Amino acid sequence: MEILIPVLVVLAIGVILGLGLTFADKFMSVPVDEKQTKIRECLPGANCGACGYSGCDGYAAALAAGEAEPDKCAPGGEATAKALGEVLGVKVEAQKNVAFIACGGKPGTVKEIFEYTGFKTCSAATLAGGGPIACEFGCLGFGDCMRACEFGAITMENGRPHICEDLCVACGKCVKTCPKSIISLIPKNSKPRVNCSNRKKGPAVLKSCETSCIACGMCERACESGAIKVIDNLAVIDYTLCTGCGKCKEVCPRKVIVD
């Protein structure tokens, strides 16, 4: 019986405070935007922060205020974007982003400059003089990105990572992991793509890798819409101008531009 009184004391205080708060809520409750509640229901509630807001609630508030785009939710993907579009009354073009590794080098096509015997990770190999390959912008192929991917979208094929675009949710983990910073998130429908990251001048690149951009400018001259430009010794495609005709792909002497 001794325990009863303290329990009652705490219970009484709790009830009084609870009633007080309920009472205060009557006077001071702020009506939450009905739209915001609906939007919040569409979101997966993972609070991952991939959208750039503090959580699903923050994103919902920004959406309701019209400050955010409805396609930012990475875990929800297309389905969430569509549901959000219905609530907001906007037609959402389901634009899916995927990770893309801008390097076409393979064992054999890229020159090896020494034999690396250390830990078999890209981050460790990068510390050893930038890694065993002649191209300092190239994929080392130890698979740090594969291990970072939680969705099994990256597999190793012939000693280089391959991204399965259907499995990729564009979480960006591999982008952060890659010590060479050659992985980026791009719209899935952006084609063709420049499959090289080397920003060194042509002659040097020519010797280090068979499938590298040597900044010859053939693509730039072949492009009719002015979408492809050689910037810092590397071809860059502006997808707002690109028509996807594929002329650049045909003229590229190094077969760097791929679909």
Partner 1 sequence: MNKVTFICSILLAGILTNNMVLSKFLGICPFLGVSKKLNTAFSMSVAVTLVMVAASAVTYPIYHYLLYPDYTYLETVVFILVIAALVQLIEMVLKKYIKPIYNALGIYLPLITTNCAVLGVTMLNIQNELDFVASLFNALAAGLGFMLAMVLFAGVRQKLDEADVPEFLKGLPITLIEAALVSLSFLGFAGIGG
Q: Residues interacting with partner 1, by CB under 8 A?
A: 5-6, 9-10, 13-14, 17-18, 20-21, 24-25, 28-30, 54
- Closest distance to partner 1 from the beta carbon of 10 (Å): 6
Residue 234 backbone dihedrals phi, psi, to 5 degrees = -145, 135
Q: What is the 3-state secondary structure (H, E, C) of 63-123?
A: HHCCCCCCCCCCCCHHHHHHHHHHHHCCCCCCCCEEEEECCCCCECCECECCCCCCCCCHH
- The single-letter code of the amino acid at 189 is N
Residue closer to partner 1, measured from CB, 62 or 125: 62
Tokens of 31: 């009506």
- Closest distance to partner 1 from the beta carbon of 97 (Å): 28
CA-to-CA distance for 184 and 129, rounded, in angstroms?
A: 24
Residue closer to partner 1, measured from CB, 1 or 30: 30
Identify the residue whose tokens are 């609870």.
Answer: 18
- Closest distance to partner 1 from the beta carbon of 177 (Å): 18
Residue closer to partner 1, measured from CB, 6 or 66: 6
- Closest distance to partner 1 from the beta carbon of 8 (Å): 10
Residue closer to partner 1, measured from CB, 3 or 115: 3
